[in-house]
Amino acid sequence: MNTAERRIGRAGTISRVIVGLGLLYLALTHGGLSWGLTWYDAVLGLVVLPAVMIAIGLTARRFAGRAVHFTGPVGLAVNCAVIVALLANPYTAGGAELFYGITLLVAAWCGQPGCEATVVSNLILGRDDQIGCPAFTPIDALETRRRGPGQRPAGHPQAEGAYGSALPPREATHMTTSKEQAPTRRGHEREDADPRNPLLHFSTCLAVGALVILVILAIHWLT
């Protein structure tokens, strides 16, 4: 795996590995000390759910063409509802834990942001579809924010080195040949900066993530 293409930070990677291993433990033992994986859990987690995500990826490629990033508050809410529905049902909980546990480890290895559910279809179809993850989207967003607005992840098309330098050749030429371009440069920087306040997005992500964690814990305590 080429680490230069990773798009998540250290915290996002470690948290995905920890949660992925925890889900695999629950799937294989049902929270006990003996083997608890059933044949229908294996079929659901290793065949049905990956096939559903591949079908969704094929549909997105057919009708959208470009990569679909359903990562806003609506995407977080929909994904949260799907996760809770799968884990709350005793007939799908084991398969869902197996599916999410494996894909979390793959997502950590590949450095893919967003929800781990799309990692299988992305690898097979060569796409970059993303769904907002209630647990890991806030972590990825905070790590991106810590890097600063001018520091992009390695491999990003606008990262330093994509043009051979930090700025396109045309802009570098104007900067060196005319002092009158300084106001244009300042305006260009204002255009590149993200004018949106991320506080609302972070708050929504954290609230949804906390809700999912509480629901998952309640399900395992009551079953």
> Given pLDDT bands bounded at 50, 70 and 90, which one contains residue 216?
low
pLDDT tens digit string along 37-62? 899 999 999 999 999 999 999 999 99
pLDDT tens digit string along 62-100? 998 889 998 888 988 999 999 999 999 989 999 999 999
Whether 163 and 169 have beta carbons less than 8 Å apart is answered as: yes
pLDDT tens digit string along 111-158? 888 888 999 999 999 999 999 888 898 888 888 888 765 455 544 444
The average pLDDT across 185-203 equals: 43
Q: What is the dihedral of CA 108, 109, 112, 115, to 10 degrees?
A: -40
- For 20, 45, 55, 137, 212, the CA distances from 52, given in Å and listed in that order, are 20, 11, 5, 22, 22
Whether 41 and 98 have beta carbons less than 8 Å apart is answered as: yes
Phi, psi of 70 (to 5 degrees): -100, 70
Higher pLDDT, 190 or 86: 86
Among 84, 94, 82, which residue's Cα sits nearest to residue 41?
94
Alpha helices in the chain, H assignment, sequence order: 10-29, 39-43, 49-63, 73-88, 93-110, 119-125, 137-147, 169-177, 182-192, 199-222
Q: What's the pLDDT score for residue 180?
A: 43
Whether 106 and 120 have beta carbons less than 8 Å apart is answered as: yes
Whether 110 and 123 have beta carbons less than 8 Å apart is answered as: yes
Q: What's the pLDDT score for residue 79?
A: 92
Within a 13 Å sphere around the CA of 98, how many CA atoms are in the beta-carbon half? Answer: 24
Helix, strand, or coil here: 130?
strand
